[in-house]
């Protein structure tokens, strides 16, 4: 069983880096992508759901359910990111028409059904957007919590934010959901800005991706072209960071990240610190602590996995 692929459910808001996360999850032999759910974030729910289905067509993803999830945060107004991802959430490349039908269930219900239908400890949840669907699923059916193997989410950070001085976008747009998720009694790994800001699409990385020579690889190149321009204009990055696939890579290969067990919580009431992820690194965590934060990354190894996944996907018919 230790050599079997990890079964993962990807909860996302495509989003340029979410799209790369989908491709990585589908192309890697180390994980088995069992379902995809969408959540409002980088764009509205209709757009991100359309984007997810379009990316599925690019990658040849088939045989798994896709479901539309939450259209707004638990408590707050919707906040989107057109300055980074464009109005569609995936500006730049031309997306093909979807070939998959949406599952009729709400995304949170699909999460519940997937976890309950699997053996305990079998399903890993990998959210790469706001944590709304994950929180809703945990409240809708609390029995999923002890059955989930782990929640590995892209969001937050120990050393500061990108949507405010202290807070990262995915957490800040629905901090109440994030608070629920990190405080549930399941293993949680935070893959935050401390590591994703070092997963940069440099010219050397682009050359490797371009060298794959397939339609999905060209699609990733087009994603990075648009993403690079907006990230330079909005946040000053010469080479764009690709946040979301780092969370998938953390499940594929534990060697990609340096992880540390640490008490973790989310600030809900600070005037200047709303949505801040607070990790207590003052001392070693207690034995058996179930919260971990990512502090270091092997960026070359991360990109090895992305390129390998693109090669394995090939050119879907």
H or E element in which residue 277 lies:
strand 277-279
Q: Would you tell me how many other CB atoms lie within 10 Å of the CB of residue 37?
A: 32
CA distance 265 to 201: 30
- Beta bridge partners of residue 35, listed in sequence order: 9
- d(Cα 286, Cα 281) in Å, to the nearest integer? 12
Hunting for tokens 């957007």 — which residue is that? 129
User: Out of 85, 197, 239, 243, which one is annotated catalytic?
Assistant: 243
- Work out whether strand 277-279 and strand 264-266 pair parallel, antiparallel, or are unpaired: antiparallel
Three-state DSSP at 127 gives strand
Examine the residue annotation and report whether 243 is marked as an active-site residue of this protein.
yes
Helix (H, G, I), strand (E, B) or coil at 279: strand
Q: How many CA atoms, within 13 angstroms, populate the side-chain half-sphere of residue 90?
A: 28
Contact present, 307 and 208 (Cβ < 8 Å) = yes
Q: Which residues are catalytic?
A: 243
């Amino acid at each position: 069983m230790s050599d079997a692929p990890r079964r993962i459910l990807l909860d996302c808001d495509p989003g340029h880096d979410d799209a790369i996360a989908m491709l990585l999850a589908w192309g890697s032999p180390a994980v088995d992508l069992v379902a995809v759910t969408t959540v409002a974030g980088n764009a509205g729910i209709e757009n991100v759901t359309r984007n997810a289905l379009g990316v599925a067509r690019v990658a040849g993803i088939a045989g798994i359910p896709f479901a539309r999830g939450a259209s707004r945060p638990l408590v707050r107004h919707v906040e989107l990111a057109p300055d980074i991802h464009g109005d569609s959430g995936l500006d730049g490349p031309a997306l093909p028409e979807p070939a998959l039908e949406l599952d009729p269930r709400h995304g949170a219900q699909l999460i519940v059904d997937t976890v309950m239908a699997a053996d305990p400890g079998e399903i890993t949840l990998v959210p790469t957007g706001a944590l709304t669907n994950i929180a809703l699923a945990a409240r809708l059916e609390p029995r999923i919590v002890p059955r989930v193997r782990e929640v590995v989410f892209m969001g937050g950070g120990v050393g500061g934010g990108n949507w405010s001085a202290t807070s990262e976008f995915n957490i800040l747009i629905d901090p109440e959901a994030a608070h629920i998720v990190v405080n549930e009694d399941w293993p949680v790994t935070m893959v935050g800005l401390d590591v994703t800001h070092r997963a940069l699409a440099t010219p050397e990385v682009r050359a490797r991706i371009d060298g794959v020579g397939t339609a999905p690889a060209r699609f990733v190149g087009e994603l990075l072209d648009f993403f690079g321009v907006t990230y330079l204009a909005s946040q000053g990055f010469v080479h764009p960071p690709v946040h979301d696939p780092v969370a998938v890579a953390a499940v594929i290969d534990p060697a990609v990240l340096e992880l540390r067990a640490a008490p973790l919580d989310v600030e809900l009431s600070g005037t200047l610190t709303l949505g801040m992820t607070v990790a207590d690194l003052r001392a070693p965590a207690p034995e058996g602590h179930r919260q971990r934060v990512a502090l270091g990354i092997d960026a070359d190894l991360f990109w090895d996995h992305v390129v390998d996944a693109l090669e394995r996907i090939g050119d879907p018919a």
